[in-house]
Structure 1
């Protein structure tokens, strides 16, 4: 996989990604400073890693209690399989949910996951994404965006979060 990533154009390196995560965390705190709790839900796999990193940054700058969940769904055909959330949600009533994914492309993944939180009566649902491509086909908009990038429909963005911390975002 590393040779494939090296052949692509790097659009964000590890330090730039960390900087964007820090900025998003400050924005989340600024918009939710009156909240006692926030629920971060990361879309697996990369959205969950991004949510973990956001949680770490938020813990450094705010007293807000954070709950982290992993959302699994079939990104290609979201209606084919049911959503899986771990750990299971307890009570979302009157809580703020921040849905996190690495790249916002068509909005399909996020649109299909929203009913889970709407049915649980969350007080507010926000979306955080590292990269927004602006090709949405569904009525989904990011509340927090690390990097906004206009691409063609044929181009692809891949975000890599290896354990060694050498993060990168690549355009092909």
Structure 2
């Protein structure tokens, strides 16, 4: 299927917001901080965020958890699979769980509970995008980059069927036969 990608948040807007989020996190005075990035979608956001945390005076350690609820599709499922787990000891640690988008809440709720069950002192969520209209589980992010409209987004690490992760901006997908595509012709 042919699609058009329309820009939702450009590079400069994202960069400024990531710096602001890092400053917010630094002001919360986390102790023995461990940043856990949820792979794959958050990898660019997490990298930019930990560099911004360094500039804000924090020296977090970095870990990864790879969870899957989408596969190659565009709609999340209730089945969450652990493809790679956090290897570090999380006992007594303050954790910032970093994800690209808080949508249904299932994946982040699962990850939070897993880390708490392993003895984390606290688990706070930093989500680049928040899509509360899609929430299936009562969960909220402690640090939010942007509110996300009810559109399928790609870029800045997020994909559709493993495509468009490399885009330096966040865009939304518009099928070629969608009237919105015709409205944007000539822009």
TM-score, with normalisation over the residues of structure 2? 0.75
Judged with a 3 Å threshold, the aligned counterparts in structure 2 of structure 1 residues 137 and 41 are, in CA distance, closer, same or farther, namely same
**Equivalent in 94, 113, 116 of residue 115 of structure 1:** 113
What is the number of residues matched between the two proteins?
A: 158
Larger radius of gyration: 2
Q: 1:81 corresponds to which residue?
A: 81
Q: Does 1:159 align with 2:158?
A: no
The structural deviation recorded for 1:124 is 1.0
User: For residue 19 of structure 1, what is the aligned residue in structure 2?
Assistant: 16
Question: Which secondary structure state, in structure 1, belongs to the residue aligned with residue 155 of structure 2?
Answer: strand
| Residue 94 of structure 2, aligned match among 93, 96, 102 | 96
Do the aligned partners of residues 114 and 97 (structure 1) sit closer, same or farther apart at CA in structure 2, a change above 3 Å counting? same
Gaps of 5+ in 1: none
More helix per residue = 1
The 8 Å contact of residues 42 and 71 in structure 1, kept in 2 or not, is answered as yes
TM-score scaled by length of structure 1: 0.81
Corresponding residue for 2:60?
A: 66
Distance in 2, matches of 1:44 and 1:11, equals: 22
